[in-house]
Amino acid sequence: MMEQRIDRNIPKEKFQFVQKEARIHDERLQTKSVGYLQDAWNRFRTNKSAVVAFVLIMVLAAFALIVPVVSNYTVTFRDGYYKTVLPKFELFKNSGFWDGGKNEKQSVAGYQYLNAIGLETGKPAIMKVYDSFQDSTGETYYNLRVDSYYSVGFVYVNLSDAEYQALMQYQNDTGIQVIYPLAAIQNKHFVRGNDGANFWYKLQDESQGSSGAAKLDDNGNYIPNYLTSDNPERAGYTSLRIAGDGENGVWYTYAQKNQTGYRCRVHYSEYFYYRNGFYASFLFGTNVYGQDIFTCLAVGARFSLLLAITVATINFILGVIYGSIEGYYGGATDMIMERISDILASVPFMVTATLFQLHLADRVGVVVSLLFAFVLTGWVGTASRVRTQFYRFKGQEYVLAARTLGASDRRLIFKHIFPNSLGTIVTGAVMTIPGVIFSESMLSYLHIINLDTSSTLTSIGTMLSNGQGYLSTYPHIIMFPAIFIAILEISFNLFGNGLRDALNPSLRGADN
């Protein structure tokens, strides 16, 4: 230990006054002060999972807001022929994954059917032939990857006179064949196909119950089997003709005149392009109504998010006002108000939602009545949290000090007590968002609310229930909405946890 040395004899002249003229101030703080929000932000930033969750929420929200605006499709878009087509992402073309293809086992007739579509249109319906094999009965089967878009092939459409002329004009301008000769076989009893529109070739057997196997010529080629006539201008057709037309003085028939206009056989992929200006390609596929799942999902998510945020905001305001009054005044006021909120909280949410639907949906619309249902009982949770916080803080000395200085009730509530409880309350409000999203999807899944009536709206729950019957055959219909809502819920919960840790450091890790 060092010996303490004290000089006892310091001559007087060695002393001098410090700051003889200057005034003494508190020293200015050299570091920057850190406010509550800054502090919370610093804490939040270090929580990696919460930051990731927040970014995810932003991405999903951006998806929900942007996609309905920029998408080629709308919720009202329904295509009768591209029903349940599979997800297709142009980047993965022909990769065997996310390319709109499906692995199928086909008999010889099925293989010929798909192959014929590709031969006639130049757009192959078969993406890949994996292998062929013979089963125990000697029947040959093929394992194929089938393009769910091109396998639609041809369809019969009825066009008005003007539409027919415009389509022929389009063909002449672009040189793209859309209208193809009518098939001679017009039976509808084949398993596949749109009114048999894809059977442009001769079959071995055209009777009921036929397998639909093709009759091939000596070289193994299909034998075309179109409606023919001896007049090239039959039914007013003056546009492009396919190869092989007009040989031996036999002309194919491209349209039949009927009462309303013309019945034509069109190549659907090109016809779709002609009608819409783009080729059909659905990122998440379509559902059984031919709606684009990608767009519907975004519209449904946008609705869910907006609803949830609105509900959270309203409940936050109502809860804060109600809870503050309860918690601040206490006593009889508190008791009566607690009874009321107790009763409201005890009504099962399903009952509230149903009653509001039954009473109000016809008068003010589904959305507003749904909002009412969420608001009616939703604020009770916030109110009780606020109340608890008030009980915690109102007895503390600084509040007493403020009261002694003459602060009004309102000032005490909003200036002194409320900011202290803000963290807990805000966290609670954010945590209600995933709950609202879940409840809304559940209600629309169970058909208790029906958002699709207004035709510009849809809900994730409705999409799920639409896909449920097709879970085994077309799982993509249900998969995308389910994944979306799962990610959304996980993100909101993680984000809420991070927010809680950031805003209330004392609660860090509680019930986590």
Crossing angle (nearest 10°) for helices 366-393 and 349-364: 130
Q: Is 512 in the site for other proteins (CB under 8 A)?
A: yes
CB of 253 to other proteins, least distance (A): 46
Size, binding site for other proteins by CB under 8 A: 37
Nearer to other proteins, 420 or 450 (CB): 450
Residue 274 DSSP SS3: helix
CB of 437 to other proteins, least distance (A): 9
Give the span between the Cα atoms of 154 and 311, in whole angstroms.
49
Instruction: Select from 108, 184, 321, 490 the one that contacts other proteins (CB under 8 A).
Output: 490
Q: How many angstroms separate the Cα of 200 from the Cα of each of 79, 106, 124, 225?
A: 24, 19, 15, 5
**The total number of residues written for the chain in this structure:** 512
Instruction: Select from 174, 258, 313, 468 the one that contacts other proteins (CB under 8 A).
Output: 468
The mark string for 395-434 relative to other proteins (x by CB under 8 A, - otherwise) is ---------------------------------------x
User: Is there a contact between 349 and 439 (Cβ–Cβ < 8 Å)?
Assistant: yes
Span from 55-63, 213-221, 276-284, 463-471 in contact with other proteins (CB under 8 A): 463-471
Q: Is 464 in the site for other proteins (CB under 8 A)?
A: yes
- Cβ neighbors of 495 (< 8 A, separation 6 or more) are 50, 53, 54, 57, 430
Q: Is 493 in the site for other proteins (CB under 8 A)?
A: yes
- Cβ neighbors of 476 (< 8 A, separation 6 or more) are 86, 87, 284, 285, 293
Nearer to other proteins, 129 or 483 (CB): 483
Instruction: Select from 3, 13, 247, 511 the one that contacts other proteins (CB under 8 A).
Output: 511
CB of 465 to other proteins, least distance (A): 9
Instruction: Select from 4, 404, 472, 506 the one that contacts other proteins (CB under 8 A).
Output: 472
Instruction: Select from 177, 441, 459, 504 the one that contacts other proteins (CB under 8 A).
Output: 441
Give the span between the Cα atoms of 234 and 228, in whole angstroms.
9
**Closest to 82 measured CA to CA, from 234, 283, 253, 288:** 288
Nearer to other proteins, 309 or 350 (CB): 350
Count of CB atoms within 10 A of residue 406's CB? 7
Q: Is 105 in the site for other proteins (CB under 8 A)?
A: no
Give the span between the Cα atoms of 486 and 458, in whole angstroms.
18
Residue 318 φ/ψ, nearest 5 degrees: -60, -45
Which pair of tokens denotes residue 139?
Answer: 């029947």
Instruction: Select from 34, 55, 176, 446 the one that contacts other proteins (CB under 8 A).
Output: 446
Count of CB atoms within 10 A of residue 500's CB? 24
- Measured CA angle at 37 (ends 31, 43), to 5 deg: 85
Q: Is 510 in the site for other proteins (CB under 8 A)?
A: yes
Touching other proteins, residues 353-372 (CB under 8 A): 354-355, 358-359
- Cβ neighbors of 307 (< 8 A, separation 6 or more) are 367, 370, 371, 374, 436, 437, 440
Q: Is 445 in the site for other proteins (CB under 8 A)?
A: yes
Nearer to other proteins, 165 or 354 (CB): 354
Instruction: Select from 81, 226, 390, 438 the one that contacts other proteins (CB under 8 A).
Output: 438
Q: Is 492 in the site for other proteins (CB under 8 A)?
A: yes
Q: Is 471 in the site for other proteins (CB under 8 A)?
A: yes
**Closest to 107 measured CA to CA, from 75, 141, 131:** 141
Q: Is 250 in the site for other proteins (CB under 8 A)?
A: no
Break the chain down into helix, strand, coil percent, rounded to 5: 55, 10, 35
Q: Note the residues at the interface with other proteins (CB under 8 A).
A: 342-343, 346-348, 350-351, 354-355, 358-359, 434, 438, 441-442, 445-448, 464, 468, 471-472, 475, 478, 482, 485-486, 489-490, 492-494, 497, 510-512
